[in-house]
Amino acid sequence: MIVDPHHPDTAIARRALPLLDLTDLGDACSDQAIDTLCGKARASRVAAVCVWPQHIHRCAELLAGSPVRIATVINFPVGGTDIERAVEDTAEALDDGAHEIDLVMPYRAFLAGDARIAAGMIEAVREIAGRAILKVILESGTMPERGQITRASRLAIAAGADFLKTSTGKSAVSATPEAAEAMLAAIRESGRPVGFKVSGGLRTVADAGLYLAIADRIMGQGWVEPKTFRIGASSLCDALTASLGGHA
């Protein structure tokens, strides 16, 4: 396949591939699936893999010597209110080799008016996580009003989030441009070095390009890089590599 280096899809793919959190959070995820995921992550030079906690140790073995980081999910996908369990699960994940924690904020409690429990869980996990990157999943698709997303974003930032993440990918509505705009605006207004992860429903090069453009517009050219912007997806990697002629 001949790749046109000036084609818009090629430029988007080159930007997006190093930002990818290559994800397998399927209910039937197996050791074989993890082997395939990690092999693809190495070959494509993505930012990270994102897997269930029980697969961290295998990923650590398969990715040893690689710059690809290992992310896992905590309080996922239900976003419950058991802070002690979230802290224990985080500590175990870090012991197993995780570098990044994607924590589901207790979003139902937050929407019911209990911001205290939401902030308390983020703060507790932040403390145990230490230098590990903490991405807080807002589950923005459950928040029909932009003001709710803005308040949740501000809460998570104040409680110690390193990244704001849109979605678990398990809700009826996942990432949307409107949610991305609200979350990025909250990050910009905070003045803190907080990143953004868009996740849920991204499958095409155009999908990636849409969110890259939003980040460029709100945060400015040059802000997007792996330490500030991630894309959580499973099938998107194939679309991006295809736009590059099958090569990372």
Where in the sequence numbering do the catalytic residues fall? 102, 165, 197
Distance CA 38, CA 49 (A): 7
Burial code of 52-70, b = ≥16 C-beta within 10 A, e = fewer? bbebbebbeebbeeeebbb
Please say whether the beta carbons of 12 and 212 come within 8 A: yes
Answer positive or negative: Cα dihedral of 151, 156, 158, 162. Answer: negative
- Give 197's DSSP letter: E
In 46-82, which ranges are continuous DSSP H helix? Answer: 56-62
Nearest-CA neighbor of 89 among 142, 132, 36, 47?
Answer: 132
State how far the Cα of 201 lies from the Cα of 140, in Å rounded to an integer.
13
Which DSSP state fits 196? E
- The rounded distance, in Å, linking the Cα atoms of 147 and 126 is 25
Answer for the pair 43, 20: CB distance below 8 angstroms, yes or no: no
